[in-house]
Chains A and B, each alone.
Chain A
Amino acid sequence: MHLTIGWLYGSKMNIYGDRGNVLALARRARWRGIEATVREIGLGEPIPPGVDVFFFGGGQDQEQIAVARDLQGAKGEALKTAVEEGAALLAVCGGYQLLGHEYRPHAGEPLPGIGLFDLVTVAGPERFIGNVVVDSDWGELVGFENHSGLTTLGPGVPPLGRVRVGRGNNGRDGTEGAVYRHAIGCYLHGSLLPKNPALTDWLIAAGLGRRAGPATLSPLDDSIERAAHASAVARAARARG
């Protein structure tokens, strides 16, 4: 078996240690004897065929504008088609916002997204910063949010989960993230996947399964991951609970 990971704008959208998500996908595949390849998809480069799991991280203002422009047109359409055909995807923070319809800054033109998720993000007056604990269909998730964008989900878009600690999509409705088919968007840094291995394995299985039918992954010893998860939840409860 082979897992192809497509890292969208890896050298531009790489703040807040989101690289850990790509490491987690690749390592957890390889630990099971599944070959894993990471392909960076940069500015001006087309979406390659055969990607099983995409990762799209956050960037700074300048990078984000260039990336938004790059995704308009054929490239964004190709990414949407890949997700329609079953590819898995994780987008965090800036990447999450650019996969919605648009991002409206305090001043200036809105930044267009590609509408893969039915959601809109508006610049807010306050920055949400801190540990987050989310109850989700993938179990308890823990990460770190750092955003001022307020994201509102369209009707019928399921969130990734409900925030137990932290602010989430917009600080009002208790939701965090969004799910569409095998695509997940959220505000969770941390890195997210290394300490939430059930979510990582779901993305791997979903990505592999789109070609060969449902994949079953052999279990791994996750004691180190579980300890990291538990300590992050404990810190979250202490600081913001």
Chain B
Amino acid sequence: MGAVSAARPDLRLGAAVAAAKLTALGIRRLGRGGGTSAPGLVAERLDPGLLTKLARRLPRGAVVVAGTNGKTTTSRMLADILAADGCRPVHNRSGSNLVRGVTAAFAAHATLLGDPGGDVGVFEADEAAFPEVVRRLQPCAVLLNNLFRDQLDRYGELDTVARKWRAALTTLPTATAVVVNADDPGLAELTRDLAARVVPFGLAASDYRLTALPHAADAATCRRCGHDLAYDALYVSHLGAWRCPGCGAARPPLVVAGRDIRLDGVEALRVTVELNDAGRALELTVGVPGLYNVYNVVAAVAAAHTLGVPDATIVRALGAFRAAFGRIERVAVRNRTLTLALVKNPVGCNEVLRMLTLATAGLTVPTLIAINDLDADGRDVSWLWDVDFELLADGSAPLFTTGLRGADMANRLKYAGIPTARIHPLPCDLGPALDAFVASIPEGGTGYVLPTYTAMLRLRRILADRGAVETFWKQ
């Protein structure tokens, strides 16, 4: 089954690819949004071997990117770097990262003769899909960002996810690279003693340290002996230079390390990334904000370096990088400027709040928080109680809430100690809520909008109706 001859077209594969393309076309004609997963379902039905067959035909192999936070941004960065290196990346770019989303993206690139339509794959996989995506793609590298508590009602508890990841990782052969955030104690443990080549990355910075584990942190205990972990430096949630006073386990030596971080508000970041295996360092300036994006940058550099991309190409591609749909973006509407940032779980939301309040010591800009509880958001809104909304208690800016669970959000703000005079519950319908929010901002002023995933999709559409932004799948 090794090499596949292009002279013998695989009819089943061709039919599946064709069906996926037609489905995607049909969905767009009907104006039903991005069409990012239904084509995958159709293709899967016709040829369950589609992913495996196409991946085998990628000359430079496939990379699977996984982790609770940052996988979309990181995989976009990596795809941009590989494109700058002269590759044609096949990439599930609009953030549909279940098995069917990966299948749909691959089928969209492929030809009816079974040519994968590119020479390298960069696929992000969600936590639950990761083992299956790895099994089907047989990647040349996997990039593991972090493993946080997220949408537990969909994934099962973290321990279960970790066990399934470990099982998938142990099947990888020695030729595969496992590029892993070693600042995450749980991931470091999951990637211990693998047959595959492990490339640990992390931060070795003297600034931007936390003084205590935030409430939302997950893995503060040693996965080997159960002792509470100690940190020589703690950066985001439970990520940092950790060690176990009980059994002596510790963060493995970093092959790729970020240091000398400079955060420039909601605009950009600078970081020096050391490539310890090569004895070199890269100076990077990237147009994305926040410490969590420093991790994304270091992750993308580690993966690109491992795949053999030259330093100068990495620096150039990241210098030109623009944020993914909805992660952070700025739009102009009715003479006001809105900064939109996706919030989807405690750790990501904490980092967004940290970013919004870091420079100004408290919240100074009117903010709309839009919380939905549809499947893609996670149906359980309990996670709002793990977020440190107490950070918003400083400052006097008004806080508006909307979405299917906007009322829960308003209640969360009240119990965060924010005076009720600052809390403005708006209707759960996002259109009228957005209009009321925009009208409350003086002309020429700015506002922050923090939506969950499906609220973001809907708000994009509403903003597009008002002439503010283009729809995301055109990016």
- Residues of A whose CB lies within 8 Å of any CB of B are 11-12, 14-20, 23-24, 27, 60-63, 66, 127, 129-131, 144, 146, 189-191, 194-195, 221, 224-225, 227-228, 230-232, 235, 239
| Chain B residues within 8 Å of A232, by CB | 405, 407-408
A16-B152 CB under 8 A given contacts A60-B158, A191-B385, A224-B414: yes
Q: Is B152 a contact partner of A231 (Cβ separation < 8 A)? A: no
Tell whether B45 is near chain A: CB-to-CB under 8 Å: no
Q: Is A18 a contact partner of B385 (Cβ separation < 8 A)? A: yes
Question: Among B379, B383, B385, B405, which residue has its beta carbon within 8 angstroms of that of A23?
Answer: B385
Q: Which residue from chain B places its CB closest to the CB of A10 in the assembled complex?
A: B215
Fill in one digit per residue for B91-132: 1 if any A CB lies within 8 Å of its CB, else 0. Answer: 000000000000000000000000000000000000000000
A195-B411 CB under 8 A given contacts A60-B158, A63-B221, A127-B156: yes
Q: Which residue from chain B places its CB closest to the CB of A30 in the assembled complex?
A: B417
Fill in one digit per residue for B324-337: 1 if any A CB lies within 8 Å of its CB, else 0. Answer: 00000000000000
Tell whether B440 is near chain A: CB-to-CB under 8 Å: no
User: In the assembled complex, how far is the CB of residue B358 from the closest CB belonging to chain A, in whole angstroms?
Assistant: 23
Tell whether B18 is near chain A: CB-to-CB under 8 Å: no
| Chain B residues within 8 Å of A189, by CB | 380, 382
A194-B415 CB under 8 A given contacts A16-B382, A18-B382: yes
User: In the assembled complex, how far is the CB of residue A44 from the closest CB belonging to chain B, in whole angstroms?
Assistant: 11
Q: How many residues of B contact A (CB 8 A)?
A: 38
Across the A-B interface, the 6 shortest Cβ-Cβ residue pairs: A17-B385, A17-B382, A20-B385, A228-B411, A231-B407, A227-B407
| Chain A residues within 8 Å of B159, by CB | 60-62
| Chain A residues within 8 Å of B384, by CB | 17, 20
16 A-B residue pairings within 8 Å (CB atoms): A15-B149, A15-B152, A17-B382, A24-B415, A61-B157, A61-B159, A62-B221, A130-B153, A144-B379, A144-B381, A146-B380, A189-B380, A191-B382, A194-B412, A224-B407, A231-B404
Bound: A228/B383 CA distance, A: 15
User: In the assembled complex, how far is the CB of residue A205 from the closest CB belonging to chain B, in whole angstroms?
Assistant: 19
Interface centre among A27, A63, A194, A231 (most CB of B within 10 A): A231
Question: Among B223, B380, B407, B410, which residue has its beta carbon within 8 angstroms of that of A230?
Answer: B407
| Chain A residues within 8 Å of B226, by CB | 62, 66
| Chain B residues within 8 Å of A17, by CB | 382-386
Q: Is A224 a contact partner of B425 (Cβ separation < 8 A)? A: yes
Q: Which residue from chain A places its CB closest to the CB of B408 in the assembled complex?
A: A228
| Chain A residues within 8 Å of B425, by CB | 224, 227
Bound: A56/B322 CA distance, A: 45
Given A11-B213, A20-B415, A190-B380, 20 more contacts at CB 8 Å? A14-B386, A15-B152, A16-B380, A17-B385, A17-B386, A20-B382, A23-B385, A60-B157, A60-B159, A61-B157, A146-B153, A146-B380, A190-B382, A195-B408, A221-B420, A225-B414, A227-B425, A232-B405, A235-B404, A239-B379
Bound: A60/B417 CA distance, A: 29
Tell whether B428 is near chain A: CB-to-CB under 8 Å: yes
| Chain B residues within 8 Å of A221, by CB | 420
| Chain B residues within 8 Å of A127, by CB | 156
Bound: A37/B386 CA distance, A: 20
Bound: A14/B428 CA distance, A: 29
Bound: A41/B50 CA distance, A: 53
A228-B410 CB under 8 A given contacts A15-B157, A24-B415: yes
Bound: A155/B254 CA distance, A: 58
Question: Among B215, B221, B380, B420, which residue has its beta carbon within 8 angstroms of that of A224?
Answer: B420
Bound: A228/B408 CA distance, A: 5
| Chain A residues within 8 Å of B408, by CB | 195, 228, 231-232
